[in-house]
Amino acid sequence: MNYILLSIFLLLSPCILIYCQDRPDNPPIIETPNEIDYLHEIVVDSLDIPWGMDFISENELLITEKKGELIYAVDGSKTQITNLPNVYVRGQGGLLDVALHPEYEVNNIIYLVASTNTEEDDKGGNTALYSAVLNLQDFQLDDLTLLYKATPNTNKGQHWGSRIVFDDQGYLYFAIGDRGQRDITPQDLSTDGGKIYRLNLDGTIPSDNPFVGEPGVKEAIFSYGHRNPQGMIFHPEKKQLWLNEHGPRGGDEINISLKGRNYGWPEITYGINYSGTIITNQTHKEGMEQPFYYWTPSIGPSGMAILTSDIYPQWKGNIFVGSLRFEYLERLVIEDDKVVKREKILDKIGRVRNVVEGPDGYLYVGVENLGIVRIIPKNETISLGL
């Protein structure tokens, strides 16, 4: 009898141990290149948290500072834009992403996502999307328009999202994180948070959004069951919305957001609570999507670019993601719809908040407590005599 009990215990004990710890590192394991064939230069300096950026031209940049500043930078010199929305700076919240309208050259419209309390109800805040006309004569925003405001407000400091992305069909996408309320928001279509949203460029809701016409739902929702997406891009070849999101400890993910799909948070996850306790042992469930890739250990992903230029030897088509936690830019090589290689770029540069491919084809990286950095391939620096 005792032997039976003992063998049951011996059988179970590894499970108990495994489930109280992080999962083993998820391959491919991150590599540090033997030879570094690039340099970097700071193109805009002295920034705290350059959360978002978009290019007006090859040498003109719009940059958001999380603390609530919108900066126009031309050849490295900065001017603040005024008449911003009233930003509610709390915890991870503040002024988040900025993006130019696809026809900015014609209409001068930009979009912003910010943490706000538009109701003035002293109950905290939630994520909001604005449009405005950028007036570079007076360095101010005109016609500031609130396009979407998540409700209800909460004084939680976490998980506001967000990135602003356009597809090739005239839709705008943005993300809102679960707002630190994982058991309330991500699986409930009647409330905001833990979702990817799709709007027309004027802020109206597309009639073919997946949940339009269902009673009580937020009809702007495009996909749900997300935790906190802070990197998102329209894949230039696959024509899909790719994103990365902060998971719990050991559960950061790359997802491909498809219309109406459920990405499972918090019912399935590869991570555990930051305190070390279990959220769920389930990683799969019917009706819930698997991530394209998950990071164990968590890298703290922010920003996402898929390189289209030929400037860097061997990097075309690779995915680039900032690591806040390990302070590098991650390069992911994809083959046959799988991540086959991960490599550190700009190792130890600082908390990498954002990465975009500029109109000149170079990679521009937003680094906290540093600025905007441009990556230059070494072969080019020799020919330029740098």
Binding site for other proteins (CB under 8 A): 48-49, 66-67, 88-91, 93, 156-158, 180, 274-276, 327, 368-369
In the complex, the smallest distance separating the C-beta of residue 276 from other proteins, rounded to whole angstroms, is 8
- Please identify, using beta-carbon distances, which residue of 97 and 327 lies nearer to other proteins: 327
Q: Which residues pair with 343 in a beta bridge?
A: 31, 331
In the complex, the smallest distance separating the C-beta of residue 89 from other proteins, rounded to whole angstroms, is 5
In the complex, the smallest distance separating the C-beta of residue 363 from other proteins, rounded to whole angstroms, is 23
Report how far residue 321's alpha carbon sits from residue 32's, in angstroms, rounded to the nearest whole number: 15
Task: Measure the CA dihedral 325/301/305/344, to 10°.
Answer: 40
Render 99-124 in DSSP notation, one character per residue. EE-TTHHHH-EEEEEEEE-TT--SS-
- Please identify, using beta-carbon distances, which residue of 89 and 144 lies nearer to other proteins: 89
Residue with tokens 């309390």: 117
- Please identify, using beta-carbon distances, which residue of 74 and 89 lies nearer to other proteins: 89
Report how far residue 188's alpha carbon sits from residue 283's, in angstroms, rounded to the nearest whole number: 20
In the complex, the smallest distance separating the C-beta of residue 49 from other proteins, rounded to whole angstroms, is 6
Tokens of 325: 């936690």
- What does the chain come to in residues? 386
- Please identify, using beta-carbon distances, which residue of 7 and 273 lies nearer to other proteins: 273
- Please identify, using beta-carbon distances, which residue of 75 and 122 lies nearer to other proteins: 122
- What Å distances lie between residue 125 and 90, 151, 163, 195, 313, CA to CA? 9, 8, 18, 17, 45
In the complex, the smallest distance separating the C-beta of residue 325 from other proteins, rounded to whole angstroms, is 9
Tokens of 200: 């027309």
Residue with tokens 């905001």: 192
In the complex, the smallest distance separating the C-beta of residue 122 from other proteins, rounded to whole angstroms, is 10
Task: Measure the CA dihedral 165/47/321/274, to 10°.
Answer: -100
Report how far residue 56's alpha carbon sits from residue 71's, in angstroms, rounded to the nearest whole number: 12
Task: Measure the CA dihedral 222/340/304/251, to 10°.
Answer: 60
Report how far residue 318's alpha carbon sits from residue 296's, in angstroms, rounded to the nearest whole number: 20
Tokens of 83: 């008449």
DSSP state of 292: S
284: annotated active-site residue: no
- Please identify, using beta-carbon distances, which residue of 157 and 206 lies nearer to other proteins: 157
Q: Given 101, 159, 226, 246, which residue is catalytic?
A: 159
Residues recognised as catalytic: 159
